[in-house]
Amino acid sequence: MMRWIIFIIVYLLFTIYSFQAIKTITKQSWVHYLFIAIAVVVIGNFIFQFTTSSEGRVLSPAKSYAFGFLLAFMSLALVLVPILLGEDIIRGALGLYDKLVTKETFYLPSRRKFVSQIALGLAAIPFTSLLYGMYRGKYRFRVLNYTLHFEDLPDAFDGYRLTQISDIHSGSFDNKEKIEYAVDLINEQQSDTILFTGDMVNNKASEMIPWKDTFGRLKAKDGKFSVLGNHDYGDYVDWPTKEEKSKNLEDLKTIQKDIGFDLLLNEHRYLEKDGQRIAIVGVENWGKGGFKKAGDLKKASSQIEPNDFKILMSHDPSHWDAEVVNDDYHYHLTLSGHTHGMQFGIEIPGWIKWSPVKWRYKQWAGIYEALGQYINVNRGFGYLGYPGRVGIWPEITVIELKKGKKEA
């Protein structure tokens, strides 16, 4: 209860302070009332969504949108308040100077309109970006292509193409047409195999039922493989019984099978071509920082040869640094997801790649290399929490394997 009181007080203070910029710019009372009305609706909806009955740490679409609108509205305040506070400090200093030097009555200079205009102009950038991310950005799918070279790649797999998707989070979807477009886009890549690296749902297997037919259309001549992510286990739901939680996981496994995915639970499969083979290794979720550690790399690789060419599917990229890259076995390529790139950041290819998530995960988006091994961290297909994406768009990864050294 105390946390809610503190939160509401902070929200009110930020809102009142931001309101000063509106009052300085325009004297139109209807604009003032509109700002106040929006502030009340945003906080009221947020409180309602997050204080009503819950099944645990479950983020329903309604809760996600309540959070998204609060985040967008607060982004205004987070830009406005420092600028207005800076101006108030200057105004106060000028008034105090006049009082001490001229010995006149203390007079506080009025707010300058152009300062409020500049502040609102700057605040509009994150505000409109967050709204755009909720409206369009979350379905702005893009295909990223990489070519990776390996000297010990079997000759038969030179030019082999694989498509990776991750973090579907079907419980968040609200536009079937966009999802069908993305599935068609995956098929258009005509890769030899499709690899899904976990988090099919947000919380419950039932979230995927409306999307079974859509994702069942995914096609790859050498099959489709998957692993579990931290959200797939139902750990964030307050289940009435352990039996219901176990049934939920079994239901999800069945759904994955119905869709056509070969779910790898600390096990492996071989892809064979012209008498040669590569190993697809899949571990259950293994993550640092309080996430489930059900993954067993030794068990998953127990029946493959050390010299096999290996592609590892592991949902959480923290697994790579912690256990994979220094393992006695050489895992040529690891495929992960989980971070979503925080669904927020700035990316200009060849210039900048930044997101706050970099402070949590060393490998958070794209290709990384260490000790002759690669990891690709997919930015995610879906979204969770904030119901949108800004700068970090939903991703379909296509990786082509090439024999030999990369040309300089």
- The side-by-side arrangement of strands in the sheet containing 160-165 is 142-150, 395-403, 160-165, 193-196, 224-226, 261-263
Backbone angles phi, psi at 338, to 5 degrees: 75, -45
Residue of 333 and 107 predicted with greater confidence:
333
**pLDDT(92) > 80:** no
Provide the mean pLDDT of the chain. Answer: 93
pLDDT at 406 over 90: no
In this prediction, residue 408 has a pLDDT band, given cuts at 50, 70 and 90, of low
- Residue 347's H or E segment, with its range, is strand 346-348
**Arithmetic mean of pLDDT, 257-268:** 98
Residue type (1 letter), 365: A
Tokens 């297909």 — which residue? Answer: 381
Alpha helices in 141-259 (DSSP H): 176-188, 212-215, 242-259
* Domain spans of the chain, in order of start: 2-135, 142-403
**pLDDT for the residue 54:** 72
pLDDT per position as a tens digit, 124-181: 999 999 999 999 999 999 999 999 999 999 999 999 999 999 999 999 999 999 999 9
The confidence score (pLDDT) of residue 81 equals 86
Residue 229 is given by DSSP the state -
Of 102-111, 242-251, 369-378, minimum mean pLDDT range: 102-111
- The partner residues of 3 in beta bridges, in order of sequence, read none
Q: What is the pLDDT of residue 103?
A: 60
Q: pLDDT for 205-218, tens place per residue?
A: 999 999 999 999 99
Q: What is the pLDDT of residues 290-304, one digit of tens each?
A: 899 999 999 999 999
pLDDT of residue 397: 98
CB contact set of 160 (below 8 Å; sequence gap of 6+): 192, 273, 278, 400, 401
- DSSP letter for each residue of 11-57: HHHHHHHHHHHHHHH---HHHHHHHHHHHHHHHHHHHHHHHS--SBS
Q: What is the pLDDT of residues 323-372, one digit of tens each?
A: 999 999 999 999 999 999 999 999 988 889 999 999 999 999 999 999 99
The closest of 380, 388, 389 to 361, measured between CA atoms, is 380
Q: Which residues, in sequence order, are CB contacts of 159 under 8 Å at separation 6+?
A: 400, 401, 402
Question: Would you state the pLDDT for residue 218?
Answer: 98
**What is the percent of the chain with per-residue pLDDT over 90, rounded to a whole number?**
79
Task: Say whether pTM exceeds 0.85.
Answer: yes
- With a pLDDT cut of 70, the percent of the chain lying above it is 96
- 142-403 to CATH, choices 1.10.10.920, 3.60.21.10, 2.80.10.50, 3.30.230.10: 3.60.21.10
In this predicted structure, what is the pLDDT of residue 356?
Answer: 96
pLDDT at 106 exceeding the cut of 60 = no
If one compares 3 and 153, the residue with the highest pLDDT of the two is 153
DSSP at 339:
S
Decide if pLDDT at 61 tops 80. Answer: yes
CA atoms in the 13 A half-sphere facing the CB of 100: 6
Tokens 């799918």 sit on residue: 141
104 pLDDT tier (thresholds 50, 70, 90): low
The model's pLDDT over 39-54, given as tens digits with 9 standing for 90+, comes to: 999 999 999 998 886 7
pLDDT for residue 89 is more than 90: no
Looking at mean pLDDT, say which of 8-12, 54-58, 212-216 comes out highest.
Answer: 212-216
Distance CA 177, CA 243 (A): 36
AA identity, residue 331: Y
Question: What distance in Å separates the CA atoms of residue 238 and residue 176, rounded to the nearest whole number?
Answer: 29
pLDDT band at 107 (very low <50, low <70, confident <90, very high): low
Other residues' Cβ atoms within 10 Å of the Cβ of residue 180 = 15
